Amino acid sequence: MKKILNNPSDVVTEMLAGFVQIHEDVQLLKDTHVIARRTPQDGKVAIISGGGSGHEPAHAGFVGDGLLDAAVCGQVFTSPTPDQILAAIKAVHTGAGVFLVIKNYSGDCMNFEMAKDLAEMEGIDVDFVIVNDDVAVFDSSFTEGRRGVAGTLFMHKVLGAAAKNGARLTDIKALADNVVTHLASVGFAISPATVPEVGKPGFELSATEMEFGIGIHGEPGYRREELKSSREIAVELLDKLEEETSWSSKKVAVLFNGMGATPLMEQYIFANDVLTLLEERGYEVVYKKLGNYMTAIDMAGMSLTLFELADAQWLDYLNQHTDAPAW
């Protein structure tokens, strides 16, 4: 394993210590791996997300005005504990309730829901959504149903803007339940990720292989084959997304997400191919975002997320200002 680090078991602690020195608008809660806004907005529903670390900048980089109020950071590729999540809830709730954005992994679902119960016993209203945007596979390692991946970023942004604009907890819940059905993602990898404490790649790909549909923890995808061109990958991913969705319109926001080790050069080339194809297929792409947002440590690869903008207000929410450093 070749990485820039000290003790592999300290990566999350040291990374978050670095994070709050670089981004001084947020704080690291004492004795726990929670990044939270220094000054939660009074009377606003607090939006919290989180999960295992290793997906940086998700989720800590999305804490800020107009986006998340806190991010709960588990160990690498490991769900945060109910205690951590409860600490985040208590740190940022200001009386209007707390909404949890959970990616669909069994451990995350269990621990976030347990934290919800604990918070409710303390009189805090909590609700949640489980994001399951990855259309690649159904029922895979660690997950019943579909996994939650980069589409979660669009969920964050829409809910963050809605909460800032004064939506109540019940409104946020209804919004989230609607948005989640309009998100679809699929990814691919050309090289694997290495968890620091494990010290070797989580899977193997030969020098000429790639894998379609791989998860953000290196979970198996739906097909392994010889490396394709960017244009061929674009066709494969868009075909898969169209096969697995049945939306009524073609007005979409698109997220091109780098997995961690893929340079921008390749990301823009891939985006060019996908956007050309979307135009050919009659899509109206009204919002575009590209970069490393929901990574898999140092995996090379990308994911493509489509978000059907079934409600005109969603685009406005995407475009509203946020000062979260990674948006």
Interface residue with its own copies, options 292, 303, 305, 322 (CB under 8 A): 292
285/308 Cα distance (integer angstroms) = 10
Interface residue with its own copies, options 36, 101, 176, 271 (CB under 8 A): 271
Interface residue with its own copies, options 50, 51, 52, 57 (CB under 8 A): 57
- Contact between 149 and its own copies per CB under 8 A: no
Q: What residue type is assigned to position 213 of the chain?
A: G
8 A C-beta contact, residue 168 and residue 45: yes
- Contact between 224 and its own copies per CB under 8 A: no
Interface residue with its own copies, options 71, 297, 306, 324 (CB under 8 A): 297
Which residue, 75 or 132, is less far from its own copies as judged by CB? 75
- Contact between 170 and its own copies per CB under 8 A: no
Count CB atoms within 10 A of the CB of residue 92. 23
Residues written for the chain:
327
222/188 Cα distance (integer angstroms) = 10
Which residue, 170 or 229, is less far from its own copies as judged by CB? 229
- Contact between 227 and its own copies per CB under 8 A: yes
List CB contacts of 145: < 8 A, sequence separation 6 or more: 104, 132, 138, 139
Stretch that binds its own copies, among 112-120, 137-145, 176-184, 288-296 (CB under 8 A): 288-296
Interface residue with its own copies, options 270, 283, 307, 327 (CB under 8 A): 270
For its own copies, how many residues bind (rule: CB under 8 A)? Answer: 56
**Catalytic residue selected from 33, 93, 182, 217:** 217
- DSSP 8-state class, residue 23: -
8 A C-beta contact, residue 36 and residue 324: no
- Contact between 281 and its own copies per CB under 8 A: no
- Cα–chain-centroid distance for residue 253? 15
- Contact between 78 and its own copies per CB under 8 A: no
Interface residue with its own copies, options 273, 305, 308, 324 (CB under 8 A): 273
List CB contacts of 103: < 8 A, sequence separation 6 or more: 51, 130, 131, 147, 148, 149, 152
Interface residue with its own copies, options 104, 140, 262, 322 (CB under 8 A): 262
Which residue, 24 or 42, is less far from its own copies as judged by CB? 24
User: What percentage of the chain's residues is helix, strand, coil (to nearest 5)?
Assistant: 35, 25, 40
Which residue, 98 or 195, is less far from its own copies as judged by CB? 195
Which residue, 90 or 231, is less far from its own copies as judged by CB? 231
- Contact between 38 and its own copies per CB under 8 A: no
- Contact between 199 and its own copies per CB under 8 A: no
- Contact between 265 and its own copies per CB under 8 A: yes
93 in active site? no
8 A C-beta contact, residue 152 and residue 294: yes
Long-range Cβ contact pairs of 11-16 (< 8 A, separation 24 or more): 11/53, 11/76, 11/196, 11/197, 12/53, 12/73, 12/74, 12/75, 12/76, 15/53, 15/56, 16/60, 16/73
Which residues are catalytic, by number? 55, 217
> Which stretches of the chain bind its own copies, using CB under 8 A?
2-6, 11, 14-19, 21-22, 53-54, 56-57, 61, 76, 190-191, 207-208, 210, 227, 229-231, 233, 256, 260-273, 275, 288-290, 292, 295, 297-298, 300-302
